[in-house]
Amino acid sequence: MKYPQKLKTGDYIATTAPSGGITKQVDLQRLDNVKHNLESLGYNYKETQNVRTETKGRSSSKKERAKQFMEVWKDEKVGAIISAKGGDFLSEMLDEIDWEQLKRIEPKWFQGYSDNTGLTFLLPTITDIACIYGPTIKDYGMRKIHKSLIDSIKIMQENEVTQESFEKCETGEWKDREDPYEEYDLQCKTEWKSLKGENKIYFKGRAIGGCFDVIINIIGTKYDKVKEYIEKYKKDGIVWFLEVFEMSTSQIYLHLWQLKNAGYFENCKGIIFGRPLMVREDYEISYEETIKDALKDLEIPVIFNADIGHVSPQMPIVSGGILEIKYEKGKGKIKNIFK
């Protein structure tokens, strides 16, 4: 696995929009504060032209999105790229990327989540380049930067950060921001859970995963190199991290069935699920029941409701790196290891 160069003080952190763009006034104000916050941490900041534009869910054409992504990827002054936001249409951009050229360029950190799984899932599985599944750029515009955001910067500096589960998280309700600089609204007690009720779990392996809604669209395409990835890193073992943006429980069950029968959980040391944002409970089947029904026959540890994904705060995960996961009585730790 190739790890990007270390982020250094004075480097540029660039923002580009491979999916949707930022156009709401309150979010634009927040974006203006990103520059101030990153500069206070010792970094320069730049945006590509498509960050503040959006038409029909796309920041720009698929060709333009690929072009602007590659421009910052090739820029030697840029030490890291943090995506502007998620959305729905990043996948169509994949056809416009020159993957062979991308492999030849000195890699740098790319970070994003949700629809950005189109990149964070493929960078390690296609190019063997590690990246970060974590917050998009708007989160860095809050009044006081949250610890999870500082942790992602530390990881980009190639520190092997051990992250502990947070005491509280947001409710998961989808609502428009009114205060452009608001911090996370932490109202709910955080509680990780184990599939079989174990009080203590430990597993470690090479990470792969992201937003489940996006991953299912990649399965079976020419970009699906999961089996090759599993085979290449079978000595490390595989750790899957998954989280749901918007699905019904029946969809979650069937897509997990799909992954099992595609052989995606071979050589798997464990699975960790983040908190889902929007889940419709079909047939009065709960999310927890769905996970248990779908995976109970696997002889591997499974953790869910972890601090990963759409319900903030989220732990940044090095996709392609080694994850060491510890769970005990509703609490957990995740360590990203560079190996």
Structural domain spans, the chain: 12-159, 168-337
Q: At what angle do helices 249-261 and 287-295 cross, to 10 degrees?
A: 20
- CA 181 centroid distance within chain: 22
Q: Which residues, 6+ apart, have CB-to-CB distance to 56 below 8 Å?
A: none
Looking at the domain that runs over 168-337, which CATH code has it been given?
3.50.30.60
pLDDT along the chain (339 residues), means of 10: 96 98 96 96 98 98 98 97 98 96 95 98 98 98 96 94 96 83 95 95 98 96 98 98 97 97 96 96 96 94 97 97 97 94
In the prediction, which pLDDT does 173 show?
77
In the prediction, which pLDDT does 317 show?
98
Q: What is the DSSP letter of 160?
A: -
Scored b (16 or more CB within 10 A) or e, 248-260 reads: bbebbbebbeebb
Closest CA to 93 of 126, 73, 115, 108: 115
User: Hey, how many other C-beta atoms are within 10 angstroms of the C-beta on 287?
Assistant: 20
- CA 214 centroid distance within chain: 11
In the prediction, which pLDDT does 280 show?
95
In the prediction, which pLDDT does 177 show?
80
Closest CA to 90 of 111, 59, 67, 68: 59
Closest CA to 321 of 211, 158, 164: 158
CA angle 152, 153, 156 (to 5 degrees): 90
What whole-number distance in Å separates Cα of residue 77 and Cα of residue 72?
Answer: 9
Q: Reply yes or no on domain 12-159 having CATH 3.90.700.10.
A: no
In the prediction, which pLDDT does 158 show?
87
pTM: 0.97
Pairing of the two strands 200-211 and 238-243: parallel
Order of strands across the sheet that contains 331-337: 162-164, 331-337, 322-328, 200-211, 238-243, 268-274, 302-306, 193-194
